[in-house]
Amino acid sequence: MVSDILIIGGGAAAMTAALYASRAGYQVTLVEKNAFGGQIADSPKVENFPTIQSISGLELSNRMFEQISDLGTNIEMDEILSLQKKDGIFIIQGQFDSYFAKSVILATGVKHRALGIKGEKEFLGKGVSYCAVCDGAFYTGEKTMVIGDGNSALQYALMLAKTSSRVDVVTLFDRFFGDKVLVEALQAQKNVFVSHNLNSLEFYGEERLKGVLFEDTITKEQKRIETNGCFIAIGQVPDNERFQNLIDLEKGFIVTNDAMETKTPGLFAAGDCRVKKVRQLTTACNDGAIASLAAGTYLSSLKPNTL
- Catalytic machinery residues: 131, 134-135
Closest to ligand FAD by CB, 5 or 213: 5
Closest to ligand FAD by CB, 61 or 227: 61
Residues ≥6 apart with Cβ < 8 Å to 176: 149, 150, 153, 154, 182, 183, 186
Separation between Cα atoms, residue 138 and residue 229, nearest integer Å = 9
Binders of ligand FAD in range 65-84 (CB under 6 A):
79-80
Q: Which residues pair with 112 in a beta bridge?
A: 236
* Binding flag, residue 107, ligand FAD (CB under 6 A): yes
Binding mask of the shown chain, residues 171 to 210, with x at each position contacting ligand FAD by CB under 6 A: ----------------------------------------
* Binding flag, residue 113, ligand FAD (CB under 6 A): no
Closest to ligand FAD by CB, 146 or 194: 146
Q: Which of 105, 284, 289, 290 binds ligand FAD (CB under 6 A)?
A: 284
Instruction: Report strand pairing: 98-106 vs 2-8.
Output: parallel
Separation between Cα atoms, residue 287 and residue 39, nearest integer Å = 16
Query: Is 141 in contact with 115 (CB distance < 8 Å)?
Result: no
Determine whether 304 is exposed, middle or buried from the number of CB atoms within 10 Å of its CB (0-12, 13-18, 19+).
exposed
By CB under 6 A, how many residues form the interface with ligand FAD? 34
In the complex, residue closest to ligand FAD by CB: 109
Closest to ligand FAD by CB, 217 or 250: 250
Binding mask of the shown chain, residues 220 to 239, with x at each position contacting ligand FAD by CB under 6 A: -------------------x
Query: Is 104 in contact with 190 (CB distance < 8 Å)?
Result: no
Neighbours of 290 (CB within 10 A): 21
* Binding flag, residue 108, ligand FAD (CB under 6 A): yes
Binding mask of the shown chain, residues 138 to 177, with x at each position contacting ligand FAD by CB under 6 A: --------------x--x----------------------
* Binding flag, residue 110, ligand FAD (CB under 6 A): yes
Closest to ligand FAD by CB, 211 or 231: 231
Query: Is 57 in contact with 64 (CB distance < 8 Å)?
Result: no
Separation between Cα atoms, residue 19 and residue 72, nearest integer Å = 10
Binders of ligand FAD in range 26-45 (CB under 6 A):
31-34, 38-40, 42-43
Least separation in angstroms between residue 129's CB and ligand FAD is 12
Query: Is 58 in contact with 133 (CB distance < 8 Å)?
Result: yes
Backbone angles phi, psi at 156, to 5 degrees: -60, -45
Closest to ligand FAD by CB, 25 or 235: 235
Report DSSP state, residue 123.
Answer: T
Q: What is the CA radius of gyration of the chain?
A: 21
Tally of CA atoms within 13 A in the half-sphere of 243 that contains its CB: 33
Binding site for ligand FAD (CB under 6 A): 8-14, 31-34, 38-40, 42-43, 46, 48, 79-80, 107-110, 152, 155, 239, 271-272, 279-282, 284
